Structure 1
Amino acid sequence: MIVPSISSEEALSRFQAGKLTDSEQEWHRLVPVEAQEALGKREVQRQSVIFEVIKSEREYVADLEAVQDVFIKGLRSANPPILRESRLQEFINGLFGNLDQILAYHQRLLAALFARQREQHPLVQSIADIILDTTIKSDFRAIYEVYIKHYPLAESHHRKQLKLNRAYELFIHSASNDPRIRKRDLITFLSRPVTKLPRLNLLLEQILKLTETEYNHPDLETLPIIQGILKDCIKSTQPGIEAAESKVKFWALCESLVFQKGEIIDMDLYDESRSLVYTSAVFRRVRTETGFSEKWSDLDAALIDNYFILTREEKRPNGVIRRLLMSRPMPLSFLRLGAFNDSPETRREKAADDGGILDGWRTQSVPIYPFTIYHAGNKSTRRYTLYVTSETQRKKWYNAFVDAIGVHKVRQDANMWFNPQNITDGFFRSPPRDPSRQSNAVITSRIRCAVPYMYGSPGRRYLAVGCGPGVYVGPANSEKFKRVLTHKNPIAMAAYTTWENKVFNRLVVQVDSSLLSYSLDILTRVSLGQSDPHSLDASLDRIGGSDLSVTLFRHVNVAGRALLICASKRRMATSMNLHVFEAVNAAELSLVPRRSSTSVPRTFRPFGETGYIPRDASDIVGLSKTVGVCTTTGIITLDPTNVVQSAVTIVPELRGASEDENMANLKSRTEGLKPLGFVRANPAELLVIYDEIGFYIDKHGVPARRCGYIKWEVKAVSYAYRNGQILLISPEFIEVRNITTSRLVQVIEGRDIRLLYSVPYMSKEDPVLVAMQGGKDDKDGVSDKIVELTETQELSMVTPTTATTSIWDEWDM
């Protein structure tokens, strides 16, 4: 008997109300001894397990209700608030998930179990039908799957808030004093739904074993059905738990990373699709200055689905773990696998401590297994040989790399920002690798320059292509080209077609130090066999006359004018002349009388006075209202419509480097680098582009974003800009980066890549053209192909308003 003074029914009522002591909450304490002896040992055990199911359900519901009353309501009513109101609900959702849905189900289940217990006590025939009625519902399993898969993230939210929020830590400590919490940690309560179904399954398994088979008891059929449902639910949540645990590890990694000071690296870590593929401890050999002895560096390697990183763990006194980057993160687009089958080597380690006097001096040789990875753009300087402790772990790394690189490539191919499309591959050829196999095919040599333009009605795109023998013209997307100009090795070309309702119809070619202008219409008709080649000579205009010795020229459209800007040599001088010419509208040319039948009207007229630029100028780049002249000391910005009287600004403005450590660091990074140009990144910033790095400047030319810089993966030779994306072009790769965040979004591979055509003010129809080694290598030679980089999706662009663009008035942009 429980207590002589009360009946079994009263004891049951007190049990269901949770008013019995722990020692009294057993089935045999609620049932007379005579009744137990009449039932037999097997049935007594079965009734005890059924009672345990009901008891555990009561405790489970009580714990979930305590979470609602103590923790959730406590967080909402805390004064002063523990978290900002804007974040509170989001935090509660992230911490407790759909716990309220689980509680509602089990409150109904417990009520039904209590009713059955009151109805049949002390001999409960079965509770299987009640449990089956609950578990068979599809949304019951669904809510458990949602909660269990989210649990590792919930635990992570809790532990992170404990570290960061003192008020939250005090709240949790205070809540543990509540009688319903009984000093238990919140993690204990959060994990209750995770362990509930496996524990219930074990109890039902015991009931099934104790159920007599000879009487055809309904539990013999019902309990296996319930067990199957519970096992399926438990099994289905395992992958989700593993994924969530991996996400927690990934977050912990991200939050602990310490980047090199000054460098901007946007690895897109907090995208929903990011995941941690594999991580483990690795070793790296470090040679001493003498080179005779070897030391080892213990590192942590992590393979994310878009980057590989090497870190060294550092534990701070407050328990916070920092992971210092030991090298720049390597994008999977550039990661290549070296040897993974080299013979194991040995590493000397301290032997196990057996308590001997000399244990501190004893060492042992431990086998370690090397593998090599490298950066495709820096094969020698960014090559890493790492070591792990077993062949099994080395194979795990290999499989992880192969899978991650494969998935990354598929994602990149399916989400290209720019789709490389061949315009021509076969006509332009370099000599074959084996001269003895050479045919009689025309050898044009490598493509040096090219420009697209429209001809005819309806307009069709044509290409003028400069090679060793001269200039070839033909329709785009064909192999039908004809040499129309015989000037050897043209350096650069530009097509002046239409601008601001003006028609120019001119092709400008730089040959040696001369600028020659030809009629595009006649040029095209000659290529089609519709005009005599000599008619081209009649359209020739030598820009600037025969005395102009040009080193470089560029076509820019500024302030409604189609301009040609060129630099010319000055003998025995430290500077060069800067000339500006304006393209003459064809309508004006038709009104100018010719002096003779052989004279050609000036198709480009001088615009303003001649200015001067440093002799080391390497390029001229255009913005909307200004141009930049790239020199070794920076980029000189000026107004091309008034070169002589223009306000001149040199960017970047680094005069504050002596007082600003960040600026001094940036200044040292730019020393010896070649500036390539700049592009507007947003209404308030420009991105300045050097061959190895880039950084942002404000309207005064002063570095922005705390003087942070972006290091390109490969040294760039040139660049193009298109609708919010910057394309950095090197001989083997094209890096496509978001101009606002610097995030690497695509990598295009090739051989001998050269930028042919791109202008920063391009309309949506204007192409980006590059040349690279083609796909044909036979007796006719090695092909050189022209590739158009075509946008594959609409990109979001910030369109400056009149108010925002006024901040550029100082540069008159």
Structure 2
Amino acid sequence: WASALDPQTVSSLPEAEIRRQTIIAKVITEEQQYVQDLDLIETVFIRELRLSQPPIIRLDQLEDFIKDVFGNFFELRQRNRELLNVILVRQREQVPIIQRIGDIFLGAAAEFRMVYPTYIGNLPFAEIRIKEEAETNVNFKRFLEQSSRQAGRALDMKYFICRPSERLREYPVLLEAIFKETAKGNPDADFLVEAERAMRKLNNLAQLQTFQSCMGRGPTGNWEWHDLVPKEARMNISKQEAFRQGVLWDFIKTEMIYVKDLETIETLFVQPLRKSDIIPQNRLPTFLQDVFCNFAEVYGHHRRMLYRLHEIQRDEHPFIRSISATVFDATLNWRDAYLEYIPNYPIAAFRIEDEREKNPSFKAFTDDCYRHPEARKFDILFFINRPIPRLLRYEILLKSIWEASPPNHEDEQVIPQVLKVIKDLGRATEPGVLSATRKVELWRYKATLRFEPGEHFDMDLFDDTRTLIHTGKLLRQLESGFNLTGGWTELFVLLFDKYLVMTKAREKDGVTTYHVNRHPIPLDLLSLLSSTDPPSRRTTNFFRRRTKTILPTVADHLTGVTSKGVNEPVDDNRYVFPLQLHQNGRTGGVLTFFTESAHARIEWELKLEEALGVRSVVQEVNKVFDLEILSVDIFLGRSTASDAWDKEGMFTATVTCSVPFTTSDGRKLVAIGCTEGVWIGPRNNSKSMRQVLHLNLVTQCAMLEDFGLFLVLAEGTLFAYQIEALVPTSPPSRDVARNAQKVNGNKDIEFFTTGMLGGRTLIIYMKRKGTDSVFRVLEPVIERINEKEKASGGFGRFTFGNSRSEWFRIYRDFFLPSEAFDIYFLKAKLAILCTTGFEIMDLMDFKSVTIPQRDDRRLAPWKDRLQSCKPLGMFRSSEDEFLLCYNEFGMYVDRHGDPRSQNVVVGWEGTAQRVACHPPYIVLFDPRFIEIRLIQTGRLVQIIPGDDVRCLWDGRGGGGSVPMIPPPGPDGWEKGGTQHARIHAMMRAEEPGRNMHGVQHVFELSSI
């Protein structure tokens, strides 16, 4: 600057002014160079990255990279361009001597406050981003090398992006130098002092923002309060206040680390799982919900609180007055989020461990995450668990702030309220945590339960309502056989809210598995018989198998043994305490267990009573079928073969079948067959039944409403009646045939069935010929049925026509060389249930195949059961699978008859006499109860107890008013299924003063 002036002018200036102007000139030159460096950032780096062909960084990632590295660079450069422009204008206005410059920098400091802290705060992240990209992108690494040479000074990108931080630190030093050379009284001195102070404060703010931006990571994340506060400032406060400021700093610092950890859950775990096939896509949404729950909601609350804390810190640093109001507001807002998240932790931990064991890809993924720098060598469980210890940490930090607060400080009022909210939150989460822990314990047992190979038993242990009520050791005494344990077996018994499961625990390689010793017992079929029998002496002698009952004596009282078993004997486990249960069902009977102490027996008694009581209530609330009475007091139990009517005029006969139908004038009726004839009456009036047919030994009935026909099988003869003749409409039809048609000639029909095949309505009946089953397929002919009645020479209300029915034509005849029990109409074929299994036949060419193939090696475990059990029904369980129902179990097969890969067999609780389908359920009839299961999984959903229970109508052969069942879709049966009643049944009920054999109640199963 001096070389451009007249030497005489320069020599006339004071030495201090010459030095002042020299420094000002240096400031202008450096500012010009600084702005040029900022321009190089754009031309050498940003522009080249955007215009390079081929792209150095993938185009879909380029703008994110530029934003991450350069942040608000363009705003910052604009502020410095404006500063340089103002300085140059001042230089031109005040040439040759610049009188004032402090005011320019004071104004610039205000402008810089909007951009520099943000830019500098992003630098640690920008440096990490450059390093990561250079390590993974060879093209970018080459670009950095080339760019440094292009810049001309062999300086890399890191140098250039850090120039603003370096320049901001220079401003206070330069302004201080100018101030020292400024004469007293110069108006610029005051501006320079304020500008220097503003620039230093701006530097402190930039440092603070760097600390805030690092979120507890890297070297700057370790800064403490005293690292950013000048010593002279710290000397002006008390030690107690310095301690308090340190704790406030620690609160914000640890909150930053916590929020960053919650953010890491999203970036390190959730996003990669969503973008990959590590977890199968059909399970991924449930897995993410179970593991991560509502962590995003928790993160949102803490991100907002941290944002406000950062604002307070920037506004009040280095001395923060209070953060308690902000924390109090946050604790009130996040309560619901924590009430959901914390109780879910046991579930999350279990799902992670379980997935790691079963899914090698997930195990490898979590191991890789553990080694990731962001994880800091913490595993996924650490991050999932973070919210729980953080709540406890709040109490410690807030108490420290409270204790260090000066008298009458606002924190004395607010912090106790915050602490109370946090403690209340902790207490409020305890029931949920306990419930989740029990649920996880239940799931762990599910994972370790072992059934016989191929056996499937769905106890629905993943259901949210399932609970484990009690577990423990029980003893059972072996009935026979030589046993080294002295005739005793030790069981580990699990009492769930729905099942009692007896297992034998086995340990291998530190892992305990529980092998199911006996079919799990539904609580609906279990009752407690006795828990007060006197204790017995347990013997271990090989030749003394039985326990000896010990009646209470004086000696027993002295040793503490009583029949009630309140106290324990003082000697070893020679005494055992019996506990008797009764199981209803096919494998049921009296079950006698023994406990090794009186206390254990009492505990089992209480837990069993609790479980049975709760189950009874839950079953009533969650039942899927209810009983709608069709006939309540028409049919009494049969006492003798000759009785037909009792003293009250009520009929005594065995009900055998029923079918609903709708008349042409819209009346909804039901026909009920019994050993003495057929009754018909309204469905909604159980006392209006009237006998319409006097036939003996009626076993089956069916309606063909489209043809106006009613079919009855009685004493081996199949009869056909016109419905109008049985139940005349008003006005009655004139062309109704009064004579019944005999469908067969001899009394040799064992069963018949009706259905649709190929668009035809068919009736198929079977008669036995030696060991063969002979079938005749008939088709009703509507024209013949509607013909006027021919003259008949019979007597009575109904007479019989020719032995060969005029209303039907013979469609097919065929036979099977085995005993047949029933026929089911499939979509295009017939399923004939016989001694060999399920014979699937094409009625057009009579080609057939038997399923399942008993020589299939996959069926080896059930070969004996397949030979000994009777087929009862065949139903679609899904779009591509069928459930073959036998009297003791069901088997899932595909459309080719091959057993499916998993969960092939599901066992019934009872011995089914009949089975019916009411999608999405199958209904099994044991004489003691009705068993209702989901057809797709075999899961037991309801048991209806009864006496002499029988199925009267299984949904086939009903009138046209009973809608056809649509086939299941790709996802199986719709949850609701059909709502129309499709099943009739009866059970015997004892009524005081009535026949000792009880009343036969006829009812339909109504879907709820």
Q: 1:421 offset after TM fit, Å?
A: 0.5
3-state SS of the aligned residue for 2:712? Answer: strand
Q: Quick check: which one's strand share is greater?
A: 1
Aligned equivalents of 2:827, 2:364: Cα separation in 1: 58
Structure 2 contact 780–807 (Cα < 8 Å) conserved: yes
Determine which of 624, 635, 652 is the counterpart of 1:445: 652
Task: Please say if residues 754 and 762 of structure 2, whose CA atoms lie closer than 8 Å, have aligned partners that are also in contact.
Answer: yes
Tell me how far 1:387 sits from its aligned partner.
Answer: 3.5
Structure 2 distance, partners of 1:414, 1:338, is 26
Shift of residue 346, structure 1, vs aligned partner: 7.6
Match in the other structure for 2:834: 631
Instruction: State which of 606, 610, 631 in structure 2 corresponds to 1:424.
Output: 631
Alpha-carbon distance in 1 for matches of 2:897, 2:330: 69
Report the Cα distance in structure 2 between the residues aligned to 1:130 and 1:310, rounded to whole angstroms: 56
1:62-104: CA deviation from partner (whole Å, max 9, x where unpaired): 25425645994488679x9793695889866655533532541
CA deviation digits over 1:276-323, x for unaligned, max 9?
Answer: 333433233353733795366555443444433333444443x55543
Match for 2:445: what amino acid?
Answer: L
Question: Superposition pairs for residues 45-444 of structure 1, below 5 Å?
Answer: 48=243, 51-52=246-247, 54-66=249-261, 68=263, 72-73=267-268, 83=278, 95-96=291-292, 97-98=295-296, 100-101=299-300, 103-108=302-307, 110-111=309-310, 114=313, 118-120=317-319, 127-136=323-332, 138=333, 140-164=334-358, 186-205=380-399, 216-271=408-463, 273-285=464-476, 287=478, 289-290=481-482, 294=486, 297=489, 299-317=491-509, 321-342=512-533, 364-365=572-573, 371-378=579-586, 380=588, 383=591, 385=593, 387=595, 391=599, 397-398=604-605, 400-430=607-637, 440-444=647-651
Distance in 1 between residues matched to 2:380 and 2:693, nearest whole Å: 82
Conserved? CA contact 1:312–1:324, under 8 Å:
yes
1:722·1:760 contact (CA, 8 Å) conserved in 2? no
**Is the 1:54–1:110 Cα contact (8 Å) retained in structure 2?**
no
User: Which residue of 666, 690, 708 maps to 1:482?
Assistant: 690
Please give the secondary structure, in 2, of the residue aligned with 1:153.
helix
Q: Could you say which residue in structure 1 is the equivalent of 2:717?
A: 514
Question: Structure 1 pair 380/563, CA: closer, same or farther in 2 (3 Å)?
Answer: same
8 Å CA contact retained: 1:567, 1:577: yes
* Highest RCO, 1 vs 2 (Cα 8 Å, sep ≥ 6): 1
Q: 2:782 aligns with which of 554, 576, 585?
A: 585
Give 1:614 shift.
4.6
Distance 1:184 1:610 in 2: 76
Q: Tell me how far 1:452 sits from its aligned partner.
A: 3.2
Check the 8 A contact 1:278/1:397 in 2, yes or no.
Answer: no
> Deviation digits for residues 99-133 of structure 1, max 9, x if unmatched?
5325414523653674688444xxx7655444334
Which residue is 2:851 aligned to?
A: 651
Task: Output aligned runs, 1:789-808, within 5 Å.
Answer: 789-792=1005-1008
- 109 and 192 in structure 1: CA distance in 2 versus 1, 3 angstrom threshold: farther
Which SS does the other structure have where 2:681 is aligned?
A: strand
- The aligned residue for residue 885 of structure 2 is 689
Opposite residue 240 of structure 1, the aligned amino acid is G
Tell me the CA shift for residue 267 of structure 1.
3.0
What does 1:525-674 correspond to in 2, within 5 Å? 539-545=739-745, 547-570=746-769, 573-585=770-782, 587-588=784-785, 590=787, 594=791, 600=801, 602-605=805-808, 607-608=810-811, 610-614=813-817, 616-638=819-841, 646-654=846-854, 656-657=855-856, 660=857, 662-674=858-870
Work out the CA distance in 1 between the residues paired with 2:285 and 2:919. Answer: 38
Q: Deviations over 1:383-413 (max 9, x none)?
A: 362647673x655555554455455444444
In structure 1, distance between residues paired with 2:728 and 2:269: 84
Change in 2 beyond 3 A, CA 1:390/1:151: farther
Kept in 1, the 8 Å contact 2:475–2:489? The answer is yes
Q: What is the CA-CA distance between 1:261 and the residue it aligns to?
A: 1.0
Q: Alpha carbon RMSD of aligned pairs, Å?
A: 4.8
Aligned-residue offset at 1:241: 1.9
Residues 560, 158 of structure 1: alpha-carbon distance in 2 compared, 3 angstrom cutoff: closer
SS, match of residue 679 in structure 1: strand
Q: CA deviation at 1:143?
A: 3.0
Q: Secondary structure at the match of 1:778?
A: coil
Q: How much has 1:144 moved relative to structure 2?
A: 2.8
Distance (Å, rounded) in 1 between the aligned partners of 2:721 and 2:596: 66
CA displacement, residues 460-481 of structure 1 (integer Å, 9 cap, x when unaligned): 2333333344333333322133
**Residue of structure 2 in register with 1:747 after alignment:** 943
Answer yes or no: is 1:774 the counterpart of 2:965.
no
- Structure 1 length-normalised TM: 0.76
3-state SS of paired residue (2:647): coil
Q: In 1, distance between residues paired with 2:673 and 2:879?
A: 37
Equivalence for 1:729:
925
Whether the 8 Å contact between 2:265 and 2:383 is mirrored in structure 1 is no
User: Is the radius of gyration larger for structure 1 or structure 2?
Assistant: 2
Does the C-alpha gap of structure 1 residues 371 and 622 become closer, same or farther in structure 2, counting only changes over 3 Å? same
Distance in 2 (alpha carbons) for counterparts of 1:374 and 1:247: 28
Measure how far apart 1:373 and its partner are. 4.3
Q: Distance in 2 between matches of 1:681 and 1:89?
A: 26
Displacement of 1:210 in angstroms is: 7.1
Cα displacement string for residues 611-643 of structure 1 (whole angstroms, at most 9, x for unaligned residues): 444574334444455444433232444456x6x
- Measure the CA separation in 2 of the matches of 1:166 and 1:248: 22
Conserved in 2, the CA contact under 8 Å of 1:208 and 1:219? yes
Residues 630-668 of structure 1 show CA distances to partners (whole Å, capped at 9, x for unaligned) of 33232444456x6xx6224333332x33xx2x2222322
1:342 shift after superposition: 4.8
Q: What amino acid does structure 1 have at the position aligned with 2:982?
A: P
Equivalent residue for 1:811?
none
SS state at 1:767 partner: coil
Taking the TM superposition and a 5 Å limit, the aligned residue runs for 1:754-769 are 754-760=950-956, 763-764=962-963, 767-769=982-984
Query: CA deviation digits over 1:568-623, x for unaligned, max 9?
Result: 354xx333543344434365452575586887363544515654445743344444
Percent identity between the two aligned chains:
23
Q: 1:691: how far off?
A: 0.7
- Separation in 2, partners of 1:550, 1:562: 20
Write the distance in 2 (CA, Å) between the matches of 1:165 and 1:66: 25
Residue by residue over 1:151-207, the C-alpha shift from the partner in whole angstroms, topping out at 9 and shown as x without a partner, is 223333443454456676666667667788665555444433212223322454466
Match for 2:1004: what amino acid? E
Equivalent residues of 1:264, 1:709 under 8 A apart = yes
State the partner residue of 1:806. Answer: none
Answer whether contact 1:425 1:774 (CA < 8 A) is retained.
no
CA distance in 2, matches of 1:543, 1:752: 32
**3-state secondary structure, aligned to 2:864:** helix
Q: Which amino acid aligns with 2:810?
A: F
Q: Counterpart of 2:434 in 1: which secondary structure?
A: helix
Q: What is the TM-score normalised by the length of structure 2?
A: 0.62
In 2: Cα distance, 1:449 partner to 1:269 partner: 39
Partner SS, residue 455 of structure 2: coil
Q: Which residue of 1 aligns with 2:905?
A: 709
Equivalent AA in structure 1 for residue 1002 of structure 2: I
Q: Is the 8 A contact 1:72 1:92 kept in 2?
A: no
Q: Distance in 2 between matches of 1:15 and 1:577?
A: 92
Whether the 8 Å contact between 1:109 and 1:131 is mirrored in structure 2 is: no
Distance 1:769 1:134, change over 3 A: closer
Q: What is the CA distance between 1:382 and its match in structure 2? A: 7.7
- Taking structure 1 as reference, are residues 761 and 268 closer, same or farther at Cα in structure 2, changes over 3 Å only? farther
Greater shift, 143-152 or 701-710, is seen at: 701-710
Match of 1:541, SS? strand
CA distance in 2, matches of 1:119, 1:408: 64
Distance 1:50 1:90, change over 3 A: farther
> Unmatched 5+ residue regions in structure 1?
1-8, 350-362, 793-813
